[in-house]
Each structure stands twice: as structure tokens, then as C-alpha cells.
């Protein structure tokens, strides 16, 4: 692997890692809300959460560009207040990937929490545990397989994100060019098929490793939790 390819792979892993790391806490909160909560508009919230799965990714990227571009309402505020820039930066690639992978994470976490008997939480609370302690000691450990699976599935999805990323942060070598964007670039260049094939093989390998890790860690946490 030459230096250019290594840089592309490392940038892709960096983007996927931060996408998952920053979206995991809200995904757990939303997953728990959808699994346990009963409130007006729940169906609408569920639909909005899963919207990135059905919308064309370019629509998500365009919306991000309008909101988080340097002249956008959120992008301008974040740059002026905190010096945080998303448009045409790797941070924007991480944001786009996080949004595209968020529904997969939430769904896995929600299904895992729904499989937990609510009576276990009730029993813990009758023994003196507060709501937060009951959630941390009962729900969180039992939902761990779903949380791990969701995080790694989202990681794999982030590695393959293309449409929203290229729309929001363009395709800048060394800055925003992740594996899918690099593959696309080489397919547009005469004689670039060999390099595109090599990068595709790396992308497939990384995705398979993420999926295998998801299954292995989920199995381990299920065993550890006694499920």
C-alpha cells in the first residue's frame, strides 16, 4: 500500500470512527425513546429518524450544505462562535456519514431494548434503584449486543458513504477524499480501472472486517450478559 492509498484509508477510518463516536450517545437516547416512550408524534419522529434510508443521499448532502455551509445558519454560527467548519472539510464528511448511518444504529438499539422485559426495570425500582440507575444497571448491559451491533453496522455504512459526502464536502484529495470518492475518481480517469479495483478490494475487506467484528462482539456481549 503506497502513501496515497494509506492516506485515503486512514482518512476513511477517521471519518467513520468520529461519525460513530459522536452519534452513538444520541442514537442510544433516541433508540430508548422509540422503544419505551409513548407520546404524540412518535410515528413522525420514527419516520424522520429513518428518512436518510429512503431519501437520495444527494438530498441529505444538499440539505447539509444549506444548513452547515459557511453562509448557512448553523455553519456560520459554528464558525464564528467556535471556529468549527464543516463544509469542504473532513469534519463535514464525518457529519454526513453520521447522519446516513444513524438510522441503522437507532434501529439495532431500539430492537435490542424492546426485547428487554420492562418488568426487570420495575423490579429494580421497587428495590430502591432510581430511574437512571435502573436503566444503567439493567437496560444498558442487556442492550449492549444491539448497541455494539448498531455501532459497527453504522461504522461499515460510514465507510461506504458517497452521495451525501461528495455533495456536502466535495472530493478533495487529502482533505475529504474517502475510499468511495477515490474509487469514483479513478473510474473517471482513462486507465484508472486497476487502481479503482484495488481500492474497491480494500473497501470490501474493511466492510467485511467491520461486519465480522459486529457479529463477534455482539455474540460476546450476549454471552457475557447471560442472554
Summarised one tens digit per residue, pLDDT across range 120-160 is 877 877 877 777 888 888 888 888 888 988 998 899 899 98
Return the pLDDT at 223: 67
Whether residue 12 has pLDDT greater than 70:
yes
Non-local (6+) Cβ contacts of 93 within 8 A are 15, 161, 165, 168, 169, 176, 178
Q: Is 156 exposed, middle or buried (0-12, 13-18, 19+ CB in 10 A)?
A: buried
Q: Which of the two residues, 137 and 47, has the higher pLDDT score?
A: 47
Inter-axis angle of helices 193-225 and 179-187, to 10 degrees? 160
Return the pLDDT at 73: 93
CA quadruple 174, 175, 177, 179: dihedral, nearest 10: 70
Return the pLDDT at 225: 54
Look over the chain and give the mean of its residue pLDDT values, rounded to a whole number: 88
Q: Give the cell for residue 81.
A: 462562535
Return the pLDDT at 209: 86
Whether residue 118 has pLDDT greater than 70:
yes
Length of the chain: 227
Domain architecture of the chain: domains with CATH: 3-225 (1.10.3720.10)
Q: How confident is the model at residue 218 (pLDDT cuts 50, 70, 90)?
A: low
Average pLDDT over residues 190-206: 90
Sign of dihedral through CA atoms 154, 159, 163, 166? positive
Q: Which of the two residues, 131 and 91, has the higher pLDDT score?
A: 91
Return the pLDDT at 221: 65
Amino acid at each position: 500500500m503506497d502513501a496515497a492509498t494509506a492516506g485515503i484509508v486512514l482518512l476513511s477510518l477517521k471519518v467513520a470512527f468520529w461519525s460513530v463516536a459522536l452519534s452513538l450517545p444520541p442514537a442510544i437516547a433516541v433508540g430508548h425513546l422509540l422503544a419505551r416512550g409513548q407520546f404524540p408524534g412518535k410515528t413522525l419522529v420514527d419516520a424522520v429518524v429513518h428518512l436518510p434510508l429512503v431519501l437520495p443521499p444527494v438530498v441529505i448532502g444538499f440539505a447539509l450544505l444549506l444548513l452547515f455551509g459557511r453562509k448557512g445558519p448553523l455553519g456560520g454560527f459554528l464558525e464564528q462562535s467556535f471556529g468549527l467548519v464543516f463544509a469542504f472539510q473532513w469534519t463535514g464528511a464525518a457529519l454526513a456519514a453520521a447522519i446516513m448511518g444513524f438510522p441503522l444504529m437507532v434501529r439495532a438499539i431500539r430492537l435490542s431494548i424492546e426485547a428487554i422485559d420492562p418488568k426487570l426495570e420495575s423490579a429494580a425500582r421497587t428495590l430502591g434503584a432510581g430511574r437512571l440507575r435502573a436503566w444503567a444497571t439493567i437496560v444498558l448491559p442487556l442492550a449492549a449486543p444491539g448497541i455494539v451491533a448498531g455501532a459497527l453496522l453504522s461504522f461499515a455504512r460510514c465507510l461506504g458513504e458517497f452521495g451525501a459526502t461528495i455533495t456536502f464536502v466535495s472530493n478533495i484529495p487529502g482533505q475529504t477524499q474517502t475510499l468511495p470518492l477515490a474509487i469514483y475518481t479513478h473510474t473517471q480517469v482513462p486507465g484508472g480501472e486497476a487502481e479503482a479495483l484495488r481500492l474497491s478490494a480494500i473497501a470490501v475487506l474493511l466492510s467485511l472486517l467491520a461486519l465480522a467484528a459486529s457479529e463477534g462482539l455482539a455474540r460476546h456481549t450476549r454471552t457475557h450478559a447471560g442472554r
